[in-house]
A and B are shown apart, each in its own frame.
Chain A
Amino acid sequence: MTTSATPVKDNASPRALLGGRSIPGRVVPVIVTFVLFVLLFGVGAARYDGFTSGQVLANLFIDNAFLIVLAVGMTFVIVTGGIDLSVGAVVALSTMVAAAGLRAGLPLPLVVLLVLAMGSTLGLLMGLVIHHFEIQPFIVTLAGMFLARGLCFVVGVESISIKDDVFRSVATSPILLPGGVSITWSVLIALVIVAVAAWVLHRTRFGRTAYAIGGSEGSATLMGLPVARVKVGVYVISGLCSAIAGLLFGLYMLSGYGLHAVGMELDAIASVVIGGTLLSGGVGYVLGSLLGVLVLGVIQTLISFQGTLSSWWTKIAIGTLLLLFVVMQRAFMRRQP
């Protein structure tokens, strides 16, 4: 018991990284994920020419900006012990609404606002149902998933390409970084969201309450914390993040389609879990989820560099990793009294 005080002091670096007084034991999975990322990248660098370039790293962010945003929203939900299966469908719906709105000649800012409002509202509705009717998040968000996916085809059954000039220029104009590396605006947006989310989850009372709910919802209620507000709030955040991810996906694909992002909710959940967040709630970091996405991304890159393997090997690798991490978490939980 008393020994726990000493390692805290030794581990100054992860504490500083994670912006708070985190406890080493809980940071371990995040560090493991980081080490894994570095190892995988190292394997790539050792085996393939050109893997070490900064652009390969930048492409990881470019190709996964939307997934990063989704995983961030998902982290909030999972920290409270919930789950949100609707995010992939909301991404698709967002691309559809944005594409259809722009085709109808609505101004871009209005379309963006519309999409964000729609995502948040869907999240709000699901959160309210989950909290006030005490229904498992799994079922409610599954219903939300079907609803959003269905709504896509109400907007249109065909893929709609986005021709708005401003939208296209945002999508294609690169931001040049020193060293000849370029990123997109999507990456910048995603990173800003990671920063804001980390601040909210780790440094505000809202975030603290989310952890408390994940630890013990009953206790959180008895402690007089605003459980209802936060529990509904995390689904609003997840919905909002899905809408933003939808816009980023629109920038990436330059089209809206009802079959976009099929199964992406599962990629998001996998990233969050690989990033060290406990599915049972109460433990997890936004930064971990970012690392989780990057691990998924680097596996994809490795397989594309390899060239002869089918892209389905990505799924096999992710499945294996996910299993490993869940088993590791279980072992970690057992150690705790």
Chain B
Amino acid sequence: MSVDAKQAPRAAGRPPVVQMRGISMEFPGVKALQEVDFRLFPGEVHALMGENGAGKSTLIKVLTGVYTPTGGVTTLDGQEVSFSGPAAAQDSGISTVYQEVNLCPNLTVAENILLGREPRRFGAIDGRATRARAAELLADMGLDVDPGSVLAEHPIAVQQLVAIARAVAVDAKVLILDEPTSSLDQDEVAELFRIMRVLRDKGVAILFVSHFLEQVYEISDRMTVLRNGRLVGEHLTQDLSRINLLSLMIGRELGALEELERLADQAGEEASAAPVLRATGLGRKGSVAPFDLQINRGEVVGLAGLLGSGRTEIARLLFGADRADSGEVTVDGKVVQLRSPRAAIASGIAFCSEDRKGEGVVADLSIRDNLVLAMQAAAGWARPIPRKTKDQLVEKWIKALDIRPANPDALVGRLSGGNQQKVLLARWLVTEPKLLILDEPTRGIDIGAKTQIQKLVAELAQKGMAVLYISAELEEVVRLSHRTVVMKDRAKIAELDQHATVDDIMRLIAHVGERTEAVAG
């Protein structure tokens, strides 16, 4: 590490390969970037830090020509540039690997790596040479993947590495890695970092975006911090402590964590024993073994377990997304048949899915329209809601959840991940559910928004809502929950009280000697 860190100041002696000055980017109703300066030196790993909505993605899209900035200049090797799109940026040596795998699932691994650059013979693509070249690149990366196999056959982690192989296949001067580690496990991350170091030592400038602080500290030489579309500072990684970085990133909201603890404690005292939902022997073959579960008014029940342990399956059963084949559910003491999500909603159950893009918000509508849709659906189509009530409610929830921008007419698709999550949450909250099921509400969003959402959950419980909280992050589950249900291998294995610790849960899960990699995240 110390060797890496010392390289950075040396790099500063050289002229930057990319320099962006006074970059501004405005969308209707959103100032995504305001007068941001950014520089990137050859042979460094530069982390771009900031919470969701800080403008990281926008800055990257400006650099790669996806967006044309409303102000400012970008220079590459001292020459002013303005790319017409990612293709033009790539031709100038700027390659990007995005958070979502942007490859073609219907083509083979080799085709994906070399698409657009295939070796040719007499004008035709030389299939054999393509595969050989791809195999060579994969071997360089130490990846054991059959280049002739179809991409869709591989897990996301492998697809991600293939995307990186593709980026490496061009002789890139600048490599942009936007959240490349979010779907990788520990070994794969180590592998990626090894490759990043090799490239950096060859003089490639790497722009790295990640929400994992430890990874940023492990790999980066320098970092630029953005907040609310503005530059807050550029620092050498070795000179910036974690706590200072956090306060740069989230500023005023540092106190929220402490407040959260306080709220959780209070809510705990007030949790009454009136069960909102009681499931007895509920189960579904091949999905989750029969379990009992009770959630009381004002109580947060956490569901902890590894990926695939049955957490999400329980949520889907309770929401009627899957039909149970045994057991019964009572809501407020009355037996209910949860045959469909519609039936569950009618019983006062709300479910925020982990797939917010696919099942949650409508990206093409404004924040207002998204919330109104939910209100209208809850009230029934025949009963119009007065415009004034609508506006008041929309404003209330935008404020309560601190959705940014606080503009009801902003398109949801333009918001950052964290803010989209808040809109999704707000959509359900306007329907005033009795039981709120949250499946991974804080996944893929930054610390600031995460804390806000956790705080909100604690507040909701305090006001009497019952909450079922599902998260892969045990710390989060333990901190928020009054009771924690531990899942393993698609069955409930334990129920712990408020005093449970992460260690307890880990011990319970590891008990039979299973891998606990999800715990590490």
**A-side interface residues toward B, CB under 8 Å?**
1-2, 4-5, 8, 20-21, 23, 25-26, 199, 203-205, 208-209, 211-212, 214-216, 218-226, 282-283, 336-337
Contact = CB atoms under 8 A, between A and B. Distances in A.
Given A204-B123, A205-B125, A23 B105 contact: no
Contacts of A218: 102
B166 A208 contact: no
Contacts of B150: 4, 23, 25-26
Contacts of B146: 2, 4-5
Contacts of A20: 127
25 contacts: A1-B155, A2-B146, A4-B146, A4-B149, A5-B148, A5-B149, A203-B124, A205-B120, A208-B118, A212-B104, A215-B106, A216-B105, A220-B104, A220-B115, A221-B86, A222-B86, A222-B96, A223-B166, A225-B116, A226-B116, A282-B104, A282-B105, A282-B106, A336-B152, A337-B153
Contact of B125 (A1, A208, A221, A224): A208
B346 interface: no
Interface string B71-110: 0000000000000011100110000101001111111100
A225 to B, nearest CB: 5
B44 interface: no
Contact of A223 (B116, B118, B154): B116
Contacts of A209: 115-116
A4 B118 CA distance: 23
Nearest to A224: B87
A224 B90 contact: yes
Nearest to B149: A4
Interface residues of B, number: 34
Contacts of A199: 124
B131 interface: yes
Given A5-B146, A223-B116, A21 B123 contact: no
A224 B96 CA distance: 10
Contact of B149 (A1, A208, A219, A337): A1
Query: Majority SS of interface residues in chain A?
Result: helix
A198 to B, nearest CB: 11
Contacts of B125: 203-205, 208
A1 B101 CA distance: 18
> For B101, B115, B150, B166, which residue has the most chain A Cβ atoms within 10 angstroms?
B115
Contact of B127 (A21, A23, A205, A222): A21
B152 A224 contact: no
Nearest to A219: B102
B194 to A, nearest CB: 23
Contacts of A5: 146, 148-149
A222 B106 contact: no
Contacts of B439: none
Contacts of B116: 205, 208-209, 223-226
Nearest to A203: B124
Interface of B: 85-87, 90-91, 96, 98, 101-108, 111, 115-116, 118, 120, 123-125, 127, 131, 146, 148-150, 152-155, 166
Nearest to B64: A222
Contacts of A212: 104, 107, 115
A151 B159 CA distance: 50
> For A8, A25, A212, A282, which residue has the most chain B Cβ atoms within 10 angstroms?
A212
A310 to B, nearest CB: 41
Given A203-B125, A221-B86, A21 B131 contact: yes
A283 B150 CA distance: 12
B148 to A, nearest CB: 6
B106 A4 contact: no
A34 B244 CA distance: 68
Given A1-B154, A199-B124, A204-B124, A225 B149 contact: no
Given A204-B123, A205-B118, A215 B104 contact: yes
A207 B225 CA distance: 43
A337 B152 contact: yes
Nearest to A200: B124
Given A211-B104, A226-B87, 16 more contacts: A1-B154, A5-B148, A5-B149, A8-B148, A204-B123, A205-B116, A209-B116, A212-B104, A216-B105, A218-B102, A221-B86, A223-B102, A223-B103, A224-B90, A225-B87, A282-B106
A277 to B, nearest CB: 12
Contacts of A8: 148
A205 B130 CA distance: 12
A2 B154 CA distance: 9
A236 to B, nearest CB: 19
B356 to A, nearest CB: 18
A222 B150 CA distance: 20
A208 B125 CA distance: 9
B86 A224 contact: yes
> For A25, A222, A226, which residue has the most chain B Cβ atoms within 10 angstroms?
A222
Contacts of A216: 102-105
Contacts of A211: 104, 106-107
Contact of A215 (B96, B105, B123, B154): B105
A1 B104 CA distance: 17
Contacts of B152: 336-337
Contacts of B166: 223
Question: Lowest 10 CB-CB distances: which A-B pairs, in order?
Answer: A215-B104, A224-B87, A282-B106, A215-B106, A203-B124, A219-B102, A224-B90, A222-B102, A212-B104, A5-B146
A114 B105 CA distance: 41
A148 to B, nearest CB: 32
Contacts of B98: 222
B85 to A, nearest CB: 7
A223 B104 CA distance: 10
Contacts of A214: 106
Contacts of B105: 215-216, 282
Nearest to A5: B146
Contacts of B124: 199, 203-204
Nearest to B122: A203
B102 to A, nearest CB: 4
A214 B105 CA distance: 10
Contacts of A215: 104-107
A23 B123 CA distance: 23
Contacts of A204: 123-125
Nearest to A207: B125
Nearest to B123: A204
A27 to B, nearest CB: 12
Nearest to A336: B152
A219 B98 CA distance: 10
Contacts of A337: 152-153
Nearest to A225: B116
Nearest to B66: A222
A1 B102 contact: no
A219 B86 contact: no
A104 B96 CA distance: 59
A197 B153 CA distance: 28
> For B96, B108, B149, B155, which residue has the most chain A Cβ atoms within 10 angstroms?
B149
> For A2, A199, A208, which residue has the most chain B Cβ atoms within 10 angstroms?
A208
A215 B155 CA distance: 17
> For B85, B108, B124, which residue has the most chain A Cβ atoms within 10 angstroms?
B124
